[in-house]
């Protein structure tokens, strides 16, 4: 018996293996984005393949000191930082429940050490809704580079290489 969709016919015995391959492909993409729970990665044997890929492709960062990332403690602190016209601030908008945010945090901390004159913040969108809405944060993580009241750039996503390129372009070393 054949299953025909349009001009393509597939034997019924091939449908299950094709569905399994499609499921495993989708799971590997979710694992790469940090959206697949660890226990499912272990069951599907995706852990080693994903971590090898991430480590191999991780951008190199020239460290110039210790990490300077700090969580925002108050709206007054934020207002004080952005009022300084010569102070550049990199804001990472995040949430405690956001897995991609947690995944990119160590890389974000390493990046902060490459720009010692810049303030690197993490801002919880659930706690500081007014600030996140001011910068039109619609997804997490979102990175906003601010100098004074001017937004120098915005990047939304958790791709390490793209974040590094974004900061290299927006921040003067």
Residue-wise pLDDT for 30-85, tens only, equals 877 778 788 877 777 774 333 333 344 555 655 555 667 999 999 999 999 988 88
pLDDT confidence of residue 50? 35
Residue ranges and CATH numbers for the domains of the chain are 2-57 (no CATH), 69-170 (3.40.30.10)
Look up 4 and say whether it is catalytic.
no
Strands 2-5 and 8-11 turn out to be antiparallel
Angstrom distance (rounded) from CA 153 to CA 100: 20
pLDDT confidence of residue 61? 58
Please give the model's pTM, rounded to 2 decimal places: 0.64
Look up 101 and say whether it is catalytic.
yes
Angstrom distance (rounded) from CA 81 to CA 158: 25
Kindly name the residue from 4, 9, 91, 98 that is annotated as catalytic.
98
Kindly name the residue from 4, 9, 91, 101 that is annotated as catalytic.
101
Higher-pLDDT residue of 34, 155: 155
């Amino acid at each position: 018996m054949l299953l025909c969709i349009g001009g393509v016919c597939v034997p019924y015995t091939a449908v299950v293996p094709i569905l399994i391959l499609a499921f495993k492909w989708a799971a590997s993409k979710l694992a790469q984005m940090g959206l697949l729970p660890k226990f499912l990665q272990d069951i599907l044997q995706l852990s080693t393949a994903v971590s090898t890929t991430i480590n191999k492709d991780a951008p190199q960062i020239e460290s110039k000191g210790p990490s300077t990332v700090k969580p925002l403690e108050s709206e007054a602190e934020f207002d004080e930082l952005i009022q300084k016209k010569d102070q550049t601030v990199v804001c990472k908008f995040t949430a405690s429940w956001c897995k991609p945010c947690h995944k990119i945090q160590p890389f974000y901390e390493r990046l902060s050490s490459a720009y010692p004159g810049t303030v690197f913040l993490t801002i919880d969108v659930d706690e500081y809704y007014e600030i996140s809405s001011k910068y039109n944060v619609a997804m997490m993580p979102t990175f906003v580079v601010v100098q004074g009241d001017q937004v120098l750039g915005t990047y939304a996503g958790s791709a390490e290489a793209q974040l590094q390129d974004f900061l290299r372009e927006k921040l003067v070393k």
